């Protein structure tokens, strides 16, 4: 078993503990998840998939709620800004 998973956030490599959500990878990369319609940077709020503040692109899937997706080896995460 691997204890860590390597993903990329906006192209930069991030190593997270196995079982981490994509939202955590984004926070650890020091990134906000998205830019709001008036240009504010936003990060996760509810942690349970209802607020949509943590949405990012995951392996090309747009608007994925990163708090609901577990990191997989090689996953490509891109923030929405």
Rounded CA-CA distance 21/36 in Å is 22
List residues binding other proteins (CB under 8 A).
Answer: 16-21, 23-24, 27-28, 32, 36-38, 40-53, 55, 61, 63-64, 67-70
Nearer to other proteins, 12 or 50 (CB): 50
- Least Å distance, CB 14 to other proteins, is 11
Of 1 and 12, nearer to other proteins (C-beta) is: 1
SS3 content of the chain, % helix, strand, coil (to 5): 10, 40, 50
- Name the nearest CA neighbour of 66 among 6, 24, 16: 24
């Amino acid at each position: 078993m691997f204890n860590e998973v390597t993903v990329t956030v906006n192209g930069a490599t991030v190593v997270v503990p196995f079982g981490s959500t994509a939202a955590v990878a984004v926070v650890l990369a020091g990134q906000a998840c998205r830019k709001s319609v008036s240009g504010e940077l936003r990060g996760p709020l509810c942690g349970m998939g209802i607020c949509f503040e943590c949405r990012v692109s995951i392996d090309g899937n747009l608007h994925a709620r990163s708090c609901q997706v577990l990191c997989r080896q090689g996953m490509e995460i891109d923030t929405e800004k």
